[in-house]
Amino acid sequence: MTATLLVTACLLALLLAVPLQVVFRVEGIEAFSARITLRWLFGLVRFRIRLPHGASGPGTESRAARTGAAAKPRERGGRFDLPAALRQAAFRKRVFRLARDLLAAAHLHRLQLRMRLGLGDPADTGRLWAFLGPLQLMARRMRRADVQVEPDFIDAVFEFRAQGRLLLIPLQFVALIVGFALSPASIRAWRHPARRHA
């Protein structure tokens, strides 16, 4: 039994170590659509994923609906509070490190990204932008990358358009995500998010 599990784990790790090429185009403005082509096992396995315009996505809500939703009190009890967690310096540093490691592991051949986002609260959006600003500068220094992120300090909104091509190793991504989730900073942020000052 133990030997079977060990062999299965080794085979799974070996398969996840095979590079995966991803060609994608995703849009989330007005209507959501996505076209993704995956090539694996050095091109022996190839398939496409397509979501047509009109599918439910982050850009399907109207601005009025988003504004109305943002005007309602946000219920944070029992749910992970990202703005509060980002107020913890250790967690911000760990998220920044994860983003940097993921970008390095993606092996981008081409990337174009346009994004507009807001949390519905100017203070929370400002804190988020203080975190995303350095990431945007880092992305702009990358070769073959064109990244523009615009903050919205009024509405709760997430609109984006992205397209590109990258080569990644799934096992490396799994290791980075697991390392982030199990890091002391992430565990502390999940259990004890920073409280908003009165």
The model's pLDDT over 93-150, given as tens digits with 9 standing for 90+, comes to 888 889 889 888 888 788 888 888 888 888 888 888 877 777 777 776 777 778 888 8
- Alpha-carbon dihedral 70, 85, 194, 73, rounded to 10 degrees: 10
Provide the pLDDT for residue 66: 46
25 vs 34: CA distance, rounded Å:
6
The C-alpha R_g of the chain, in whole angstroms, comes to 19
What is the reported pTM? 0.56
